[in-house]
Amino acid sequence: MSIEIANVTKRFGSFVALDDVSLSIPSGRLTALLGPSGGGKSTLLRIIAGLESADSGKVEIEGVDATHLSPQKRNVGFVFQHYAAFKHMSVRRNVAFGLEIRKRPKDEVRDRVNELLALVHLEQFADRLPAQLSGGQRQRMALARALAVEPTVLLLDEPFGALDAKVRKELRDWLRRLHDEVHVTTIFVTHDQEEALEVADEIVVINDGHIEQIGTPDQLYDEPANNFVMRFLGPVTQVGDRLVRPHDLELHTGDPAPDAVTGRITRITRVGFEIRVEVTTDDQVILVSLTRAQFVPLGVGMGDTVHVRIPAGISTATAGRLATAA
């Protein structure tokens, strides 16, 4: 285990930002801290970095008690949402900075910087100033700079948060590939469930100062520990007293299956490859998500009567607890 967090509590005045949090983060993995705004993700990351100190509890990094170590002594690299580069220095010099202040030999610095610029695909921009880069390129430079000093742990706080959706997506894929190449233990904060599901080996869901669940993307998605995780990880809809994912539902016409509920189609929306069908029953509105290939053969339209059922083996939640459909 690379990072051990034991019983960490952090208060700001009377507000409890982290409440007795314990967590093991494995070496060499890409771990996401995921949760809603204000839940405590950044505070936890800053405590690992040494930028904030816990009121109680312990932080261990690679077997060393880091609880009272300064950030410089923890050998961590950071990248934040708005990365502060040295504006008057070229990309190359920005990346070299950490090595130069450590007085590493010139040849070694040059070779390492070239290697890092290649890794983040910025070789051709080495002599530009940071202001001459796009937002995505600047965040890649920030990552190269953080990696230059070979940190034990790389900490990323919403590193792509300020970028537009398309660039975010590209950088996400790129971060995953980069991590597969360098394998440095990486922790990144995000409030975007899709980003966490796509990139992380392991996800820690943090809400209201405590951990709701830790698991792989599949575990969280398929076996959410509670309603909060189920709702946070993806869309849900309610059928009777059960929460279920809209794309897990089945729609049929004709005679209703014994376990189906019946309603009328009150809305049909097409979003890319997905068809969202709203079915209104006597007492609820159910959202069903189908592919075009599933929807077209049904031959249904607005106002038609349809039956909705939860197929066997689908993970559902009831108010307050989890159940699996029989």
Ligand X SMILES: Nc1ncnc2c1ncn2[C@@H]1O[C@H](COP(=O)(O)OP(=O)(O)OP(=O)(O)O)[C@@H](O)[C@H]1O
Interface with ligand X by CB under 6 A: which residues? 12, 17, 35, 37-43, 191
Minimum distance from residue 190 beta carbon to ligand X (Å): 8
Pick between residue 55 and residue 111 the one whose CB is nearest to ligand X: 55
Give the C-alpha separation, 162 to 323, whole Å. Answer: 39
Minimum distance from residue 32 beta carbon to ligand X (Å): 12
Minimum distance from residue 158 beta carbon to ligand X (Å): 7
Minimum distance from residue 8 beta carbon to ligand X (Å): 12
Give the C-alpha separation, 67 to 162, whole Å. Answer: 31
Pick between residue 57 and residue 256 the one whose CB is nearest to ligand X: 57
* Contacts (Cβ under 8 Å, ≥6 apart) of 219: none
Pick between residue 95 and residue 142 the one whose CB is nearest to ligand X: 142
Minimum distance from residue 161 beta carbon to ligand X (Å): 9
Pick between residue 41 and residue 309 the one whose CB is nearest to ligand X: 41
* Contacts (Cβ under 8 Å, ≥6 apart) of 103: none
Minimum distance from residue 232 beta carbon to ligand X (Å): 12
Minimum distance from residue 15 beta carbon to ligand X (Å): 6
Give the C-alpha separation, 30 to 202, whole Å. Answer: 7
Pick between residue 137 and residue 139 the one whose CB is nearest to ligand X: 139
Pick between residue 13 and residue 105 the one whose CB is nearest to ligand X: 13
Pick between residue 12 and residue 86 the one whose CB is nearest to ligand X: 12
Minimum distance from residue 162 beta carbon to ligand X (Å): 13
> Side by side, which strands form the sheet with 15-25?
15-25, 3-12, 56-61, 64-65
